[in-house]
Amino acid sequence: MHMPNKGILHAFAAYSIWGLVPIYWKFLKHVPATQLIGHRIVWSFVLLVFILLVGRKWPEFRASISGGKVTLIYSVAAILCGLNWFIYVWAVTAGYILEASLGYFINPLLSVLLGVIFLRERLRPFQWLSIGLAAAGVTFLAIVYGRLPLIALGLALTFGFYGLVKKKAPLNSLNGLTLETGILFLPGLAFLSYMNWIGKGAFFHTGLTSDLLMVGAGFITTIPLLFFASATQRIPLTTIGIMHYITPTLQFLLGVLVYREAFSATQAFGFGIIWVGLIIFCAESFLSHLTSRSAVNLSDPKLPPL
């Protein structure tokens, strides 16, 4: 399988899991969001360390993290990731899945902008058209809400810059994620320990099912992040940005159809504009890929596919 195709599959897997994960967090809505983030950090790090040890890759990990520059890059990524986790989990458990989905509709636009500005990535004409339609739809939705969508903007900014940092990050996906969660591990563990010490901790106090779900936060967090980190190293950030619409679309469907959050006809119009842009982008990308593969076969076998 060609590298770009593998990257697209990894991105699709990550975004699909993120799109459905509100179901998981809804089962833990009785646990404060701050504690859920602590458990995500702690159990993700434990799981990643276990993977490294079983795969006998711990020495490689230790050797790869030497140097202040590497630590600085992943410290920034860790902070952005932690903030994004907190905003998202709080929004879902507080009943703002639709506004969270708006944040992830905005995010790809920011990812495209970052890709063009910082990475000098280029867009084809129909890609610009799809971006323009998406921007129009997001703007319309923001106006419909009648207020500054702080949840949406917070999610878009933190995850957009996280993607940019990961694009520039030197480590492979497994080592990078282990370092990120390792940076946050001690603060997260200290916070959870303190909450238990003062009698406000949820772990061991809300039932076995809740405890297992909190531990499982490591799996539900790590798996899509591994897919995403792998995808950002294999395909352009512009493609990453557009594929991100999978996540908010699934979140939107959950919010409206499953959790019955309010959704008006005017909001439906805004979402429709965005979906038209996505359809145009997907169709253009598919046709461009076919053309590129034909050119590879006929002229230059060394030219990589899109």
State how far the Cα of 256 lies from the Cα of 228, in Å rounded to an integer: 26
Among residues 136, 105, 108, 130, the alpha carbon closest in space to that of 252 is found at 105
In this prediction, residues 243-257 reach a mean pLDDT of 87
**pLDDT on residue 204:** 86
pLDDT in the model for residue 289: 63
Compare 89 and 139 and report the one with higher pLDDT.
Answer: 89
- The type of residue at 80 is L
Q: Which residues contact 271 (CB under 8 A, 6 or more apart)?
A: 105, 137, 141, 252
What value does the mean pLDDT take over residues 165-194?
88
Q: What is the model's pLDDT at position 255?
A: 92
CA atoms within 13 A on the CB side of 213: 18
- Extract the tokens encoding 75: 């410290």
In the numeric block, which tokens belong to residue 242? 């557009």
How high is the pLDDT of residue 300? 35
As to burial, measured by CB atoms within 10 angstroms (0-12 exposed, 13-18 middle, 19+ buried), residue 54 is exposed
| Separation CA 303–CA 306 (nearest Å) | 9
Integer Cα distance of 95 and 48 in angstroms? 31
Looking at residue 244, what is its pLDDT?
73
pLDDT at 176: 86
φ, ψ of residue 151 to 5 degrees: the values are -60, -45
Structure tokens at 210: 């809740």
Most confident of 6-20, 117-131, 226-240: 6-20
Task: Using the predicted structure, report yes or no on whether residue 251 has a pLDDT greater than 90.
Answer: yes
- Structure-block tokens of residue 77: 């990524």
Q: What is the mean pLDDT of residues 272-291?
A: 77
pLDDT at 139 exceeding the cut of 90 = no
| Three-class secondary structure of residue 275 per DSSP | helix
Is residue 228 over pLDDT 90? no
Residues 99-136 have pLDDT tens digits of: 898 888 777 777 777 778 787 777 778 878 878 888 88
pLDDT band at 259 (very low <50, low <70, confident <90, very high): very high
Predicted local distance difference test score (pLDDT) of residue 92: 93
Q: What is the pLDDT of residue 297?
A: 41
Q: Tell me the pTM.
A: 0.79
Q: So where are the chain's domains?
A: 3-298
Average pLDDT score, the chain? 83
DSSP conformation class of 41: H
Using alpha carbons only, give the angle 59, 65, 66 rounded to the nearest 5 degrees: 100
- For residue 269, the one-letter residue type is F
- How close are the terminal C-alpha atoms of the chain, in Å? 13
Question: Given a cut of 80, is residue 15 above it in pLDDT?
Answer: yes
How many Å apart are CA 263 and CA 266, to the nearest integer? 8
DSSP 235: S
Asked if residue 241 has pLDDT above 70, the reply is no
Q: Give the model's confidence band at 215: pLDDT under 50 very low, under 70 low, under 90 confident, else very high.
A: very high
Tell me the Cα Rg of the chain.
20
